[in-house]
Structure 1
Amino acid sequence: MDIKVLRYFLALAREESVTAAAEYLHLTQPTLSRQLSELEDELGTTLFIRGSRKITLTDEGMRLRKRAEEIVELVRKTEAEFQAPVEIISGDIYIGGGESYVMGLVADVIKELQNDYPHVNVHIFSGDADEVTERIDKGLLDFGVLIEPAHISKYDSLVLPAKDTWGVLMRKDSPLAQKEFIQPKDLWDLPLIGSKQRFVDDRIAKWIKRDYKKLNIVATYNLIFNATLMVEKGIGYALCLDKLVNTAGNSSLCFRPLKPVLEVDVDIVWKKYQIFSKPAELFLQRLKAAFG
Structure 2
Amino acid sequence: MGLLDFGLVIDPVEKQKYEYLPLPISDRWGILINENHALASKAFVTPKDLTDHALLISNQTLVNNQLSEWLGENLSHFKIAGSYNLLYNASLLVKEGNIVAFCIDGIINTKDSGLVFVPLKPALTARINIIWKKKQIFSNAGTLLLEKLASHTKTKSS
228, 245, 253: which one pairs with 2:115? 253
Q: CA deviation at 1:143?
A: 2.2
Percent identity, please.
40
Structure 2 counterparts to residues 177-216 of structure 1, below 5 A:
177-216=40-79
Higher strand share: 2
Structure 1 counterpart of 2:61, which letter?
Answer: R
SS in 1 for 2:27: strand
Matches within 5 A, 1:19-38: none
- Answering whether residue 40 of structure 2 is matched by residue 164 of structure 1, we say no
| 2:103 aligned with 1:240 | yes
What TM-score results when the alignment is normalised by the length of structure 1? 0.48
Within 5 Å, which residues of 2 pair with 1:39-58?
none
Which is helix-richer, 1 or 2?
1
Aligned counterparts of 1:232 and 1:212: Cα–Cα separation in 2:
23
Say whether the 8 Å CA contact 2:56–2:83 is kept in structure 1. yes
Unaligned runs of 5+ in 1: 1-76, 79-92, 95-141
- In structure 2, how many angstroms separate the alpha carbons of the residues matched to 1:223 and 1:285? 33
Aligned counterparts of 1:161 and 1:208: Cα–Cα separation in 2 = 26
What SS is found at the alignment partner of 1:232?
helix
The residue number in structure 2 matching 1:227 is 90
The reply to whether residue 268 of structure 1 matches residue 124 of structure 2 is no
Shift of residue 220, structure 1, vs aligned partner: 1.6
**Aligned residue number for residue 217 of structure 1:** 80
- The one-letter code matched in structure 2 to 1:230 is L
> Contact (CA 8 Å) 2:32, 2:94: kept in 1 or not?
yes
Alpha-carbon distance between aligned partners in 1 of 2:92 and 2:59, rounded to the nearest angstrom: 17
Within 5 Å, which residues of 2 pair with 1:3-82?
none
Contact in 1 for aligned 2:54/2:79 (Cα 8 Å):
yes
- Return the alpha-carbon distance in structure 1 between the equivalents of residues 63 and 129 of structure 2: 15
The 8 Å contact of residues 47 and 71 in structure 2, kept in 1 or not, is answered as: yes
Q: Which has the higher contact order (CA 8 A, sep 6+)?
A: 2
Q: Where does residue 146 of structure 2 map in the other structure?
A: 284
Q: Deviations over 1:135-184 (max 9, x none)?
A: xxxxxxx3221111122244321111211100001011111112111010
Give me the TM-score of the superposition, normalised by structure 2: 0.85
Q: Please tell me the root mean square deviation across aligned C-alpha atoms, in Å.
A: 2.1
8 Å CA contact retained: 2:34, 2:94: yes
Deviation, structure 1 residue 279: 4.5
TM-aligned CA deviation for residue 261 of structure 1: 0.7
Secondary structure of residue in 2 paired with 1:176? coil
Give the distance between the partners of 2:81 and 2:104, measured in 1 at CA.
18
Runs of 4 or more above 4 Å deviation:
none
| Residue 188 (structure 1) shift | 1.8
